[in-house]
Amino acid sequence: MNVAVSPTPRQMDVLRFIAGYLEASGGVAPKYRQIGEACGIAGMGQVSRMLGALEERGCIRRLPGRHQAIEVLASVSIPRGPAGEPLYFVPLGTSAGEAS
């Protein structure tokens, strides 16, 4: 039996990013690379372990049989910009170092 445990601050950052990305992209989950870049996690193995820890804590569920499909199960407060857009969302095709 899994016991839900509160996520660590770093796990909360990842959870907020995923929730904001899902909302802004119409339900499409971010790729591991995007999660790593946005949250400062080096390596896809570390991203996978972070998602595994979030899944063990009952915060997310990775959907079997669907590549990169993630469902957020925990209630997450997403920081928002002036127009109401999720601040943890990084649009596809941009990187953190690019100017808009």
| For the chain, domain boundaries | 9-72
Q: What is the pTM of this model?
A: 0.79
For 41-76, the pLDDT digits (tens) are 999 999 999 999 999 999 999 988 887 799 999 988
Other CB atoms within 10 Å distance of the CB of residue 60: 25
Q: How far apart are CA 90 and CA 86, in angstroms?
A: 9
Let me know if domain 9-72 sits in CATH 1.10.10.10. Answer: yes
Which position has the higher pLDDT, 97 or 51?
51
The predicted structure's pLDDT at residue 84: 85
